[in-house]
Structure 1
């Protein structure tokens, strides 16, 4: 009887974690729903009364939290994409800041992130590239070598 109870408790703890696995499409849909709720909030602020606005704000806050949790689950379940790994480069690690000028060896095509959308990075601007530097990701202007944006510890 005791073993049966323990097995039941184990099954109850494992089942929610299996059910919470998010696919990329589900996470995208939750973001789309969040944008729709934010649009509804703006409309309620324009045309509605205060009670409606309060309820819409609460709904948007809850939707934001759910979207964050969905992406957290997605990243947790797809660790191979976000894995730090054994990243070797012909230079040592430096913690770069925004505005610093890099030598071309730090941002040559070998270190470009070819598909930034895979990592949910925003589209780079004209003459800009996302570059991996060990576990960090930097947005670099490839014409002058200036760092535009830095995400430290992006690849854990």
Structure 2
């Protein structure tokens, strides 16, 4: 009976670890396909300098294929991590403004409902004392909540 419990516990632990390994692997695949794209573009530039028309045509085709593969890999990665890369309609009860560093916001623009509670999840640096990461449509603002002053702006963060 104890062996059975140990097997069940081991199976449950393995089931929780496997998705994190798979997500890291897909991110790595996306990065590698981007790297292949850069290599293909470098080969194309060399072929344009030294090669004949046939080599250039083949290199262009390779670059096009590598670009398509990189796009598909990133699309697959974003779809499998929808909770991190949310896209689409995110509307607030006020219209979009393009804020700049140093601007002062009214409190309704940085209300607690717009705080990003876990900045590490979105690969944002930790906010300091009295600072909060705030979502404004697809932008992310680092705001001093005591003064309302914008410290940092990341435009188009949520595509």
Give the structure-2-normalised TM-score.
0.52
Deviation at 1:84, TM superposition (A): 2.1
Q: Does the 8 A contact of 1:24 with 1:74 survive in 2? A: no
SS of residue matched to 2:84: helix
Partner of 2:23: 23
Q: Does the 8 A contact of 1:22 with 1:74 survive in 2? A: no
SS of residue matched to 1:98: coil
Deviation at 1:22, TM superposition (A): 5.6
Q: What number of residue pairs does the alignment pair up?
A: 95
SS of residue matched to 1:143: coil
Deviation at 1:24, TM superposition (A): 4.0
Matches within 5 A, 1:3-18: none
Give the structure-1-normalised TM-score.
0.53
Counterparts of 1:25 and 1:134, CA distance in 2: 30
Deviation at 1:77, TM superposition (A): 3.8
Larger Rg: 2
Deviation at 1:75, TM superposition (A): 4.2
Partner of 1:100: 103
Gaps of 5+ in 2: 1-20, 29-69
Match for 1:121 among 124, 144, 147?
124
Partner of 1:52: none
Matches within 5 A, 1:30-45: none
**C-alpha RMSD of the superposition:** 2.8
Gaps of 5+ in 1: 1-20, 29-68
**Deviation per CA, 1:18-47, whole angstroms, max 9, x where unpaired?**
xxx96248869xxxxxxxxxxxxxxxxxxx
